């Protein structure tokens, strides 16, 4: 146990450092003016030069320090999203963008790092850009000020660019006071922990394990909960399918309220 914990904390420290470097790469690509955009599967599924450079930087840096990165000792797996919110990045919605590094042990998300390259970017030309949020289960989450939505308010955050009838029906069933449509799974979890939203509702396949591993840890470390739309805990072992085929439901508080309002028609349409 002591050896595993030592390796974990070394890995978290390295991931924190490389996430900060990744944020610098993301900002540099924007500053250079050539995003190098290519379509992966469709017009809303994009990849940029920043995706490619950050992926290379993270993987090469961690691989040098941890040669057996996928499996260390027993089963320690790292899930990386080099640019969460790529579409928003290409459209200049820079506060939606995050770099995500999640760490799982025996299928459970246990540590996560979220870098926000453009945090504070609206504060003026002299503002210091970027921040790194990190957390470890049993230790806590750091790099932000925990806040909650006022009692009785139901503010839903959901997808900006991947909506469909299932998503709309599920969001409507929550009886929301406000609906926020933003990019990036990491960004949505940050909205939950900073009191800007009550629940993250995405009743559709689309996001993948590298989108949810790191954010899930941050949320769980402060008492929140993230599951699929059926209430199933997500698994992150090395052989798991990458797609979160049954969507995502996440809250900082009052999870049962939102879970109870998911329509049966939505559950029947989404197979875990």
Measured between alpha carbons, how far is 146 from 92 in angstroms, rounded to an integer?
Answer: 27
Q: Annotated binding residue at 216? A: no
Is 51 one of the annotated active-site residues of the chain? yes
Q: What is the DSSP string of the chain?
A: -HHHHHHHHHHHHHHHHHHHHHHHHHHHHHHHT----EEEEETTEEE-HHHHHHHHHHHHHHHHH-TT-S-SSS-EEEEEEEEETHHHHHTT-GGG-EEEEEEEETTEEEEEEEEETTTTTTS-TTSPP-EEEEEETTTEEESS--B-PPTT--EEEEESSS--HHHHHHHHHT--SEEEEES-HHHHHHHHHBTS-SEEEE-SS--BHHHHHHHHHHHHHTT-EEE-TTSPPP---TTS-SB-TT-EEEESS-HHHHHHTS-HHHHHH---
* Catalytic residue, candidates 6, 44, 45, 86: 86
Task: From the candidates 34, 41, 51, 70, give the one annotated as an active-site residue.
Answer: 51
169 annotated active-site: no
Answer yes or no: is 88 a known binding residue: no
Is 34 labelled a binding residue? no
Is 177 annotated as belonging to a binding site?
no
- In total, the chain counts a number of residues equal to 272
- 84 assigned ligand-binding residue: yes
d(C-alpha 19, C-alpha 14), whole Å? 8
Q: Per the annotation, where are the binding residues?
A: 74, 81, 83-84, 211
Q: Catalytic amino acids?
A: 51, 86
Q: Per the annotation, where are the binding residues for Mg(2+)?
A: 74, 81, 83-84, 211
């Amino acid at each position: 146990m002591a050896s595993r914990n030592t390796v974990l904390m070394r890995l978290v420290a390295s991931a924190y450092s490389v996430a900060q470097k990744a944020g610098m790469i993301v900002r540099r690509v924007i500053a250079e003016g050539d995003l190098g955009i290519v379509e992966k599967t469709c017009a809303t599924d994009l990849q940029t030069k920043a995706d490619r450079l950050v992926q290379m930087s993270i993987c090469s840096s961690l691989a040098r320090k941890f040669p057996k990165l996928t499996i260390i000792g027993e089963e320690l797996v790292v899930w990386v999203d080099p640019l969460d919110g790529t579409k928003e990045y290409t459209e200049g919605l820079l506060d939606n963008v995050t770099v995500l590094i999640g760490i799982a042990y025996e299928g459970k998300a246990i540590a996560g790092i979220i870098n926000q390259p453009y945090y504070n970017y609206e504060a003026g030309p002299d503002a210091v850009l970027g921040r790194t949020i990190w957390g470890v289960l049993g230790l806590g989450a750091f790099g932000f000020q925990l806040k909650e939505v006022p009692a009785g308010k139901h503010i839903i955050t959901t997808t900006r660019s991947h909506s469909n009838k299932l998503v709309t029906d599920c969001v409507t069933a929550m009886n929301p006071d406000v609906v926020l449509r933003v990019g990036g799974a990491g960004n949505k979890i940050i909205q939950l922990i900073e009191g800007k939203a009550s629940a993250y509702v995405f009743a559709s396949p689309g996001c993948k394990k590298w989108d949810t591993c790191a954010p899930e840890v941050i949320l769980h470390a402060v008492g929140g909960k993230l599951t699929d739309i059926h209430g199933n805990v997500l698994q992150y072992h090395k052989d798991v399918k990458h797609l979160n085929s049954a969507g995502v439901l996440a809250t900082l508080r009052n999870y049962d309220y939102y879970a109870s309002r998911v329509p049966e028609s939505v559950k029947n349409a989404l197979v875990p």
